[in-house]
Amino acid sequence: EERLGFSGMEIHWTPRRLAVLVRGLAERQADLVEEVRGPAAAVGLDSTGNPTQAALGFLKKYGATPQDLKRKVVGEKEYLFLEVRTPGRPAQEVLQELIPDILRSLPCRKTMRWDSSGVAFLRPIRWLVCLLDNEILPIRYGSLTAGRITRGHRFFGPRELALDSPAEYVEKLREARVIADPRERERMIRDAAKGVEGEYGVRALWTEELLGILVGSLEWPSPVLGEFPGEFLDLPAPVIAAVLHEEGKFVPFARDGEPAPVFLGFRDGKEDEKGYVRQGYERVVRARLRDARFFFENDRKRPLAERVLDLREVVYEARLGSVWDKVQRIREICKRLVDPLGLDGEQGALLDRAAFLCKADLTTEMVREFPELAGVMGGIYARLSGEPEEVAVAIEEHLLPRTRADELPESTLGTALSLADKLDTVMGAIIVGEVPTGSRDPYGIRRAANALISLILRKRLVVDLFGVIDAAAEFYPRIPEGKDKHTVKGFLVDRLRHVLRDDFGVPHDIVEAVLAVPRGDFLGVLERAQALASLKRDAALAELAQIFERLRNITKDHGFTTFDPELFQKEEEQELWREYLKAEGKVRRALTERDFAGALKALLPLGRPVHRYFEKVFVMVEDERVRENRLSFLKALLSLFLEIGDLSVLSV
């Protein structure tokens, strides 16, 4: 964008610093060559080809001569053009303007101000380093001026550290006990865990969140191995993991699928040579495991089903009522999922039982203390209360997936319950008027919608989501500032647009094509997109795209698709009608079998007869009956194309 070439770039960061190292940076910008349009040739040149006053003014503006003029046709008109060259500026000059702008544009969810300069950032900025080769670029940002002084580790490195050149940044920081490269810190953390695995015959139980926190909070990761008494191994494995994650962001381990009484913590800085840090970590872990045991034993004194009525006292959202009310809505949505998911009567009853119990663990001491165990503890307590295994598994799985990288529910009942829970979250928030806008999404509706859509697409579920929304809408309150079910559908379609592009890599034009007609079968939308992608390079598809646009333009003000073949007058009309009947039969059969590629291929032979039709048949005749009949026929043909999507937006 700034025309400064470079050969490579490295990005480093720690909790205390952000750094960009640019290698092979050009000494100056590349020259900018632009083609500038001037007056029309008929205005700028006289009959002998010499420049008029209009052309001379154009030349003077850019310091050019008549010999520099070029002629080029744009549309249906010829214009005069100049090739204007702007010399590139020195890199030093460009960077001094560019870097402050980059710093100001860094996205921050929350910011703070710390002095009178007015600069806002995640945390106070204490120093700036900016070097071009060996020279300081004296960038000013807020109250700071860049220099060559950086700082080492907060506690174990030198307070100030002079850099002679950018090339020595990483190694000088290493000498000051700072690992600048987050990838190297991740390797150090993983290698420490592998050492424990080899020594104890155990397996580290990583989560991406835990690894990210460790990498992001340490400048010099020093491993600290701890142990806890085996008496706590009778606690459920998720409870032990939650204690370790919460207290010190410790890495838990398992042996043969069961928790192992060891954990790995990290100190930021020097090694724990005297073992004081280890003792402190172990003391904290023992205390929290004792607390967890107390919660677990207390919670088990009441069967899970007895806790459900307590949900009436737990407010979900003031306008949507209590968690009890949410549970009732989830149960109603589950009833609407029984047939689409192919559940029999017994499975439907088990699903209803799981929905009835799915939020009961919110009243337990364990979940109050460790909210991340919601659902997981519900499944554990359901088993201990004698509930069927299918019910316990569904409760455990109903909050999955929590993130894009999270695993999906494996059971059919867990999948159904997860769909119902997420749909209620989205519908409830939108119907009371809490539609996410910009960066504002206090209820996490986008995340819930993305998880709902991801679940449908990744599990390949054939569900008419719009039908479920229509059936469930009656169970939500109507308030003056609220929205209706149509807003819910529109929001989900918009989230589907993002999921198709970001998670499934569907090109933008194909996404817009398949979303031209909103459909509640989101899996069908994805499959249509995949069918279009498979034929995108087919020349016949490009021809269909042109035909679609012509059909749409001529019928845009016509709303009927009922036509009478007896009113067709020309052979080209009869021919296209015959081809239409063949294609329609094939398309309908293919759609029934969910063969969207087959449906698209069935449309391909329509290209030539449609072209012949438009060559030989004048649609907008004076005879109203004939004209309306022809428009209705073309509208029906367009509707057949729309079973796949709006082909006119394809880049073919």
- Do residues 3 and 88 lie in contact, with contact meaning Cβ atoms separated by under 8 Å? yes
pLDDT of residue 179: 96
pLDDT of residue 223: 96
Q: CB within 8 A of 632, min separation 6: which ones?
A: 558, 560, 561, 562, 563
Sign of the alpha-carbon torsion through 349, 355, 358, 359: negative
- Do residues 359 and 325 lie in contact, with contact meaning Cβ atoms separated by under 8 Å? no
pLDDT tens digits for 590-632?
999 999 999 999 998 888 898 899 888 898 888 889 988 999 9
What one-character-per-residue DSSP string does 293-354 give? HHHHHHHTTS-GGGGGGGGGGSEEETTTEEHHHHHHHHHHHHHHHTTTTT--HHHHHHHHHH
Q: Which residue has the tokens 């005297």?
A: 274
17-23 and 8-14 strand pairing: antiparallel
Give the span between the Cα atoms of 297 and 299, in whole angstroms. 6
> Both tokens of residue 548?
């679609």
Nearest one of 214, 217, 195 to 206, comparing CA atoms: 214
Alpha carbon of residue 418 to chain centroid: 19
pLDDT tens digits for 191-243?
999 999 999 999 999 888 899 999 999 999 999 999 999 999 999 999 999 99
Give the span between the Cα atoms of 516 and 647, in whole angstroms. 9
Long-range contacts formed by 72-77: CB under 8 A, 24+ apart: 74/37, 77/40
Q: Which residues of 226-265 are buried (b: 16+ CB within 10 A; e: fewer)?
A: bebeeebeebbbbbbbbbbbebbbbbbbeeeeebbbbbbb
Q: CB within 8 A of 581, min separation 6: which ones?
A: none
Q: How far is CA 519 from CA 54, 119, 467, 487, 501, in A?
A: 56, 47, 10, 14, 17
Nearest one of 124, 91, 92, 96 to 16, comparing CA atoms: 124
pLDDT of residue 118: 87
Alpha carbon of residue 531 to chain centroid: 23
Q: Which residue has the tokens 């990761």?
A: 221
pLDDT of residue 189: 97
Q: How far is CA 143 from CA 128, 161, 455, in A?
A: 11, 21, 49
Helical segments of 477-521, H only: 485-502, 508-514
Residue numbers in the chain where pLDDT is lower than 70: 247-248
As a 3-state breakdown, the chain gives helix, strand, coil percent values, each rounded to 5, of 55, 15, 30
Give the span between the Cα atoms of 384 and 374, in whole angstroms. 16
pLDDT of residue 510: 94
All domains in the chain, ordered by first residue = 8-27+90-175 (no CATH), 32-86 (no CATH), 182-299 (no CATH), 318-505 (1.10.3210), 536-649 (1.10.730.10)
Cα-based angle 558, 587, 583 (whole degrees, multiple of 5)? 75
- Do residues 174 and 139 lie in contact, with contact meaning Cβ atoms separated by under 8 Å? no
Q: Which residues of 550-580 are buried (b: 16+ CB within 10 A; e: fewer)?
A: bbbebbeeeeebebeeeebeeebbebbbebb
Give the span between the Cα atoms of 378 and 303, in whole angstroms. 11
Packing angle between helix 571-592 and helix 624-642, nearest 10 degrees? 30
Q: Which regions of 172-287 does DSSP assign to beta strands (E)?
A: 203-204, 221-227, 251-255, 258-268
Give the span between the Cα atoms of 505 and 513, in whole angstroms. 15
pLDDT of residue 247: 65
Task: Count Cα atoms within 13 angstroms, Cβ side, for 466.
Answer: 14
> Both tokens of residue 361?
């663990």
Give the span between the Cα atoms of 225 and 250, in whole angstroms. 9
- Do residues 350 and 391 lie in contact, with contact meaning Cβ atoms separated by under 8 Å? yes
